[in-house]
Structure formats: C-alpha cells, structure tokens
Structure 1
Amino acid sequence: MSTTSGIDSGAPASSPKKRLTVPTLRARKGGEPLVMLTAYSARMAQLLDPHCDMLLVGDSLAQVIYGLPSTVPVTLEMMAAHGAAVVRGSTQALVAIDMPFGSYEASPAQAFDSAARLMKETGAAAVKLEGGEAMAPTVRFLTERGIPVIGHIGLTPQAVNLLGGYGARGRSEAEAAKIVADGVAIAEAGAFAIVIEGVVEPIAIEVTRRVACPTIGIGASSQCDGQVLVGEDMLGLFDRTARFVKRYEDLSGRISAAAEGYAAEVRSRAFPDAGHLYRPKA
C-alpha cells in the first residue's frame, strides 16, 4: 500500500515564514490570542500548521489514535514517534510535546532525561507537563537547562485516577485557591505558557491576570491568552465530546458517507473504471 502524491506524504510545502519561537509566543501575553490545536500525524500537522501558532502533540493520542481509556498508558516511545511526524509535517507553528505519565514525576533529573530525549528524537521546541506547585522545581530545573516548558493545571487527565473523573475543577473555594496558586508557582518557575483545563471560569481569569506568561484555555475562559482543542474533536470525528468542544465540521459523517459510496461502487464493479486503470502501451 502506498501513496505517490508528494503533498500527501506529509512533506510540508515550502513556507516563507520562519517557525515561531518561544520568546515570540511568550511576548504575545495580553495581545492577539494564541491558536493551538493537537496533531498526531505529519498530514494533520501539514493541514493545521498554516492556521496555528502552536501544535501540541498531546498524550490525548491515547484515546484519539490508540483507543485507550485514558492517557496513563502512553509511553515516551509513542510520544517520540508522533512528535517527529508532526515536526516533519509543519513549518511555522511551534511544536510542543506532552511528557507522558511516569516520565517526569519522580525527579527533576528524570524529567530532564525524558524531555531531552523527546526533543532530540523529534526536533520539537518545547515539552508540556501536568501539575502545579509540586512540579514547580521540575519546571525550573528544565528551563534553567534550556528546555522550554508549558505547564498544565486544573483538570489534569494524567491524574484521573486521583481526581475520580473528568469533571470541572475548582468548584470549592479551597480547590479554586489551589489552582490559582498552582498557576502562579508554575509561571514563576519559568513556564513560558500554561494550559488551563476544565475549570470554572473565574479561576482561569484570575490565573491569566496573575501570571506573566500566556495562558491557553480549554474549557476555561475566552479571556485566556489563547485556546487549544483536540483537532479531532474540533473536526467532529467523535460522537461524544466534552461540553467545551465546539465542532467546526462533521467529518465523521462525511467519512462514513464516502466509505458507503466507495463500498457501493466496489460491489457494483463501478470502481475502478477505465480512468483508474493502467492500459498496455500501444
């Protein structure tokens, strides 16, 4: 099985724009909102790249690509393989890669080894890790050694077993205060951006106001400095999505209809026709 189309191979078309950098994106704090989407393949990166400031190779590939029940089983090998594909498929967006569960929590040194491997094997510009105040020393350790870090607070999917599910966070005063403190700690440790996921809106607004780096909302607030969605959710490839997802397309319906049409033509022998076959040379 093969495809011979150069554009479909994942090789990005030439672009006059240089790839966006960490300092450039950090300087967007309070300015034009940052656009981030997830990507897991070269071809998807190629399609999304012209419209995004950042492409995130999320550990959400667990559910999107592999059909796993959570992000917990994701490995460094999986992240490296998909991260390299996204870097190859993009030319201008900054590419960041999620650090998978178990690859950074034990110590700052473990986190450095994992992050260095991801960046070496993929060419990505940054890593993202979950956690608040407890992870601040790790964020500082990485940034002081040249590894740009995106933080992730609020609903942290890798901690789903501890949290007891994927419900919105920060409904109690104590939890709200903890999330704000987490954001401040991660920012002060050197994160150049922070993803705020699944929190009641006033928390996202408060964190955005309190930190010097851009905040990227997902189920947070339009007042964040940017937004991120899982690309496949935004494109309508799944029947069930979170409340905070807006579907900009219904690709699942279109793909199903296309497959139905293909199956009907194969069974009726309408495909392939003469235009799709190779004939002997005269």
Structure 2
Amino acid sequence: MSMYHNRPHVQDIRAMKARGEKISMLYVSTLEEAAAAAAAGIHMLSIEGRFWSPEMREAAGDCFVQVGLPYGGWGKFEGRPLATGEDYLRAAFYYGGFGADCFYCSASYDIQKLLCENHIPVVGHIGLIPSYITWTGWRAVGKTADEAAALLAHAKKMEEIGVFGAELEVVPDRVAKVLTEQTSLIMLGMGAGKYADAQYLFTEDVCGYGVNHKPRHGKVYADMGAKMRELQQMRIQAFKDFKADVEGGGYPEAGHSVTIKDDEFDAFVKKAGL
C-alpha cells in the first residue's frame, strides 16, 4: 500500500493538539462501523489487529487509524500471543503494510522504545489499563496525589522514549488537564473529562447496542439496540420458517429448480441404461 495518501499523519494530529482542536475518536470492529465513521468525518479510529485488513482500511477512508497490537493473552498474531520486542515489530510492520497509521501498545517501556526506534508511531495507555486490571481493579486511577503523580511520571517516561500518544482512561478531569498540558503526548481521553485532546468512545456505546458494562463516560447518540434485537428475532424466525419449509417439502418449489426437456432427459436415461 502506498505511503502517499490524503488522510492525516502524526504531524497533523500533533498540529490539532497545538491549535487546541478537539479530536473525535471511535473504537470500531466492522466494515459498516468503519465506513459510517469515515462518512461522518470522525478524526481517529481504534481498530484491534484481529479486525484489521485491507478491506477495513478502505472502509475507514481518510480516518487516522490506530491499530491495536495484541498484548499477552488479549489477542494473538500469527497464531500466538506477542511476547518479545521482535514479535511486536513483526506485527506492526505487517499491519502497517496495509495502512495502519499508528499502533496501540501497552507492553513494557523497552518494547515501546524498540518500536519508536524503528520509527513506528506508538500510542501507549495511562490510567485504567484493561490488560493490567489485576493490579488496579476496575476503578478510576489517579484520585490520590500519589497515583496522580505516578500517572504524570508514566506520561513523561513514554514521552521520553518517543511515544506520541496515549489512551487516557478513567482519570480525574483535572489530572487529565495536567497530563494533557504538561506533555507532548496526544491524550486520547476515555472517561478523562473535557481537557483531553481527544474524546474516545466505543461504537457500541454511541449506538446503544452494547451488551457489556455501560461505562459512566458512555453516551448513547442513537438507540440501535432495540432495532438490532428486533432484526435478530426476525432472522431467527426466518431461519425457523426455512427449516419448517424444508422439512414439510414446501421448499424448493418448481420455480427454484432447473428444468430439462423431456426428450433430453429420456435420452439421458437411455444412455445411462436406467
């Protein structure tokens, strides 16, 4: 895939931060979601590596796409979890081959640094990090002075090794403001208040069809859940009707079958010695 394109580059995203422009960001997992985001002019998309493909790149149009590199047991590349820096490099170069614009990586500093040293745009993670959840539990992170200071130190360390952005998840808004203003990192806020550089939500929350925990920061802009459940019930009923039709001999009807002329069929029977 050509490196020449019209979608934003890292420097364009940095310029948006410098100008104080707010960035919209969505997590998508299907071609339809990616295409809808592109049509709506969403700035950035987050797409897991397992969903990333040339078709997804095309659907995402001019959106700047962050592709998630699987972490530990949270996903696999080439049939196995990523473990070493070389694993992460291989995955990043592979996904970059069909148009990833940057890569989410929540691995160790040394692995993030290795990616950065190979000129790969890296997005880290600060605050509530799902892959580290055993150390924090499902809660806001940074509500004490010590935790807030640790978040700032984390951001500064990532800035030092060349990481260009970070998902900033479930962090107090005033702490997020400090992190956003005191580092060059593009802060992709998810439940981090209005001061983050970007506001990042999952499509399932925006469209109201999520079946998992509804986060405090989620906001439903279209309640598609009821319609999708209705469509699923219609699909199930159609399948039931089809099964009953097959078992009752109603399908296929004459119009669903290919015919053969009587004389040709008779000739076939004769040739076959039937």
Return closer, same or farther for 1:145/1:256 CA change in 2, 3 Å cut-off.
same
The 5-angstrom pairing of residues 166-177 of structure 1 reads 166-177=138-149
**CA distance, structure 2, for counterparts of residue 85 and residue 177 of structure 1:** 42
Aligned partner of 1:73 in structure 2 is: none
1:86 maps to a residue whose letter is: M
Unaligned runs of 5+ in 1: 1-16, 59-78, 270-277
Q: Within the alignment, does 1:56 sit opposite 2:51 as a pair?
A: no
CA-CA distance at 1:56 after TM superposition: 0.5
Alignment RMSD: 2.8
Distance 1:56 1:235 in 2: 16
| Pair 1:95 & 2:95 matched | no
Distance in 2 between residues matched to 1:84 and 1:179, nearest whole Å: 36
Higher RCO, Cα 8 Å, sep 6+:
1
Q: 2:122 aligns with which of 138, 146, 149?
A: 149
Q: Is the 8 A contact 2:52 2:95 kept in 1?
A: no
Matches of 2:43 and 2:199, distance apart in 1:
10
The 3 A distance-change label for structure 1 pair 171 and 258 is same
Report the equivalent of 1:194: 166
State the Cα deviation string for residues 4-24 of structure 1 (Å, max 9, x = none): xxxxxxxxxxxxx92111111
**Offset of 1:258 from its aligned partner?**
4.0
1:36-67: CA deviations, max 9, x gaps?
Answer: 10111222111111321111114xxxxxxxxx
Paired residue secondary structure (2:154): helix
The whole-number CA distance in structure 2 between the counterparts of 1:125 and 1:37 is 15
How far has the Cα of 1:266 moved from its partner?
A: 8.9
Counterparts of 1:268 and 1:115 in 2: how far apart (Å)?
47
List alignment gaps of at least 5 residues for structure 2: 243-254, 258-274
Partner of 2:181: 209
Q: Measure how far apart 1:92 and its partner are.
A: 0.3
**In 2, Cα distance between equivalents of 1:96 and 1:268:** 43
Q: Does 1:226 align with 2:216?
A: no
CA distance in 2 between partners of 1:138 and 1:237 (Å):
35
In the aligned structure 2, how far is the partner of 1:261 from the partner of 1:199? 42
**Residue 111 of structure 1 pairs with residue 85 of structure 2:** no
Matches within 5 A, 1:1-282: 18-30=6-18, 31-50=20-39, 51-58=41-48, 79-102=49-72, 106-120=83-97, 122-130=98-106, 134-135=108-109, 137-163=110-136, 165-239=137-211, 240-260=213-233
Q: Please give the TM-score of this superposition, normalised by the length of structure 1.
A: 0.72
- TM-aligned CA distance change 1:83 to 1:36, over 3 Å: farther
How far off is 1:157 after superposition? 0.5
Shift of 1:81: 4.2
Checking the alignment, whether the CA contact within 8 Å between 2:26 and 2:203 is kept in structure 1 is yes
CA shift for structure 1 position 154: 0.6
1:254 deviates by 1.8
Counting aligned pairs with the same residue, the percent is: 25
Letter in 1 for 2:184: A
Conserved in 2, the CA contact under 8 Å of 1:187 and 1:194? no
Q: TM-score, normalised by structure 2?
A: 0.74
**Structure 1 residue 214, shift from structure 2 partner:** 2.0
CA distance in 2, matches of 1:26, 1:142: 19
What is the rounded CA distance, in whole Å, between the counterparts of 1:260 and 1:151 in structure 2? 40
Report the Cα distance in structure 2 between the residues aligned to 1:41 and 1:82, rounded to whole angstroms.
9
Count of matched residue pairs = 231
